[in-house]
């Protein structure tokens, strides 16, 4: 009788430990999947760009721009090069016009 009682207690204890450990892992997984948008943006700030367009340049106050910055028609955008010819390249462009300094 005593032997049966000890076996039952041991089995119940083992089941309890297994269940509590599984529930801990489940809560941990749910919390890690529920990241807020601010946490995502915080991690994204440290993301290093691997691919870089050779025409990309960083301009203070604007950010990354592509194309020839000495052209009047440069869109000063990371997405398009030229306001007149958005898909075209800057070299040998027939619309190129040198930027005039306003001094």
User: Same domain for 25 and 73?
Assistant: no
**Rounded to an integer, what distance in angstroms lies between the CA atom of residue 53 and that of residue 79?**
11
Determine the structural domain holding residue 55 and report its residue range.
50-103
**Rounded to an integer, what distance in angstroms lies between the CA atom of residue 63 and that of residue 57?**
8
- pTM, two decimals, is 0.43
User: Same domain for 73 and 88?
Assistant: yes
pLDDT tens figures, 24-44: 888 877 776 665 555 555 444
pLDDT tens figures, 11-25: 999 999 998 888 888
User: Same domain for 58 and 73?
Assistant: yes
Task: Check residues 41 and 79 and name the one with the higher pLDDT.
Answer: 79
Segment (H or E) for 4:
helix 2-33
pLDDT tens figures, 46-58: 455 555 666 788 8
Q: How far is CA 41 from the centre of its chain?
A: 7
CB 52 within 8 A of CB 66: no
User: Same domain for 13 and 40?
Assistant: yes
Total of domains in the chain: 2
Q: Is the dihedral angle over the CA atoms 39, 41, 45, 49 positive or is it negative?
A: positive
């Amino acid at each position: 009788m005593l032997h049966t009682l000890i076996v039952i207690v041991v089995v119940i204890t083992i089941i309890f430990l297994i269940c509590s450990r599984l529930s801990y892992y489940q809560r941990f997984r749910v919390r890690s999947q529920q990241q807020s948008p601010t946490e995502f943006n915080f991690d994204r700030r440290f993301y290093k760009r691997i691919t870089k367009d050779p025409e990309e340049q960083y301009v203070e106050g604007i950010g990354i721009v592509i194309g020839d910055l000495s052209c009047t028609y440069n869109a000063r955008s990371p997405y398009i090069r030229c306001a007149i010819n958005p898909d075209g390249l800057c070299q040998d462009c027939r619309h190129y016009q040198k930027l005039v300094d306003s001094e």
